[in-house]
């Protein structure tokens, strides 16, 4: 599930859930909405997964 990937990412990076929402989905309430049962569109899920992957790649490159 996407929310599990996000929660793991948040724990690993220490990023605030509102910041993640702003950066990844342009919606600071995105993570809260997922926690409350929101189901993202497939395009949104793909965009979020790409954000997590690219963030990890950038962090390892630095």
pLDDT one-digit tens code per residue, 13-28: 999 999 999 999 999 9
Structure confidence at residue 37 (pLDDT) = 97
* pTM of the complete model: 0.89
Neighbour tally for 44: CB within 10 Å: 16
Q: Which residues of 9-31 are buried (b: 16+ CB within 10 A; e: fewer)?
A: beeeeeeebeebbeebbeeeebb
Domain boundaries, the chain: 2-61
Structure confidence at residue 61 (pLDDT) = 64
């Amino acid at each position: 599930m996407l929310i599990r990937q996000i929660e793991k990412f948040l724990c690993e990076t220490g990023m605030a859930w509102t910041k993640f929402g702003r950066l990844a989905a342009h919606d600071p309430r995105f993570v809260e909405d997922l926690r409350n049962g929101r189901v993202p569109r497939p395009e949104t899920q793909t965009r979020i997964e790409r954000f997590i992957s690219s963030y990890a790649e950038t962090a390892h490159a630095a």
